Copies of this chain bind each other. A is one copy, B any other.
Amino acid sequence: MPPRHQGNANTESVDNYLKAILALSGPEERRASSSSLADRLGVAQASVTNMLQKLATSPLSFVEYERHRGVLLSAAGKRRALEVLRHHRLIETFLYEVLDYPLEEVHEEAERLEHFISERFEERVAAKLGNPKFDPHGHCIPAMDGKMAKQASVPLTELQEQGTFTVDSISDQDAPLLKRLKAQGIIPGARVHVTKGGADDLVLRTSAASKKLHLSRNLAAAVRVRSAH
């Protein structure tokens, strides 16, 4: 059979570009620069330009791209990116809840599998888990129609006042770091009392251990909190 050659299909690589654009655009949907994409994806800048040109040209038109001006997801692109994100977070939840993975290992596995599961798999996993709204890092799982709740949390590093907060989510980007947070009881849902809000040395207390904790900027940046109820 001749290759489908449908412009530019849903390959793993395309999915990864779309996901990266989604992440870099943020809630305000800023244009993402080629270099930021190259950074995030770990490829050369030229590769990014190349792919963006292909994506922009493709009849599927996942992106709106202008030379030297960065890129933005189209409606179709956003839909696809959110679908992959949904896959990712459902898989993470599944690995954690059903297969008892250690929290810090779910991301890497999900990153690989998200590209290859079928609609049926997605549906069955969601059903098994009771259509969860959040993954084990506390991140919101996009609904099937792509709708996703807005984030009302703030990184620990940007906290304005001291006080008591609930851990909303922790970053999945760095496994060893995540493991350290976990070891100190900083997981989604945990209560933290922040007693010193310096940018470089955050002091807090968790409800688990009553000892004071010092968080480096690194660690603190990986934690988002919201007001405690």
Contact = CB atoms under 8 A, between A and B. Distances in A.
Interface string A109-125: 10011001110110011
24 contacts: A95-B121, A95-B124, A98-B98, A98-B128, A99-B121, A99-B124, A99-B125, A99-B128, A100-B124, A100-B128, A101-B120, A101-B124, A105-B120, A108-B118, A109-B117, A109-B118, A109-B120, A109-B121, A112-B116, A112-B118, A113-B113, A113-B116, A113-B117, A116-B116
A113 B125 CA distance: 15
Contacts of A125: 99
Interface string A78-117: 0000000000000000010011110001001100110011
Contacts of A108: 118
A124 B100 CA distance: 8
A125 B95 CA distance: 10
Q: Is the interface of A mostly helix, strand, loop or mixed?
A: helix
Interface in A1-18: none
A115 to B, nearest CB: 8
Smallest CB-CB A-B distances: 4 pairs: A99-B124, A112-B116, A116-B116, A109-B118
A120 B99 CA distance: 10
Contacts of A98: 98, 128
A46 to B, nearest CB: 16
A98 B95 CA distance: 13
A106 B113 CA distance: 16
Which of A99, A100, A105, A109 is most buried by chain B, counting CB atoms within 10 A of its CB?
A99
A113 B112 CA distance: 10
A120 B110 CA distance: 12
A218 to B, nearest CB: 24
Contacts of A105: 120
Interface in A161-208: none
Contacts of A95: 121, 124
A202 to B, nearest CB: 33
A59 to B, nearest CB: 25
Contacts of A101: 120, 124
A100 B128 CA distance: 9
Nearest to A125: B99
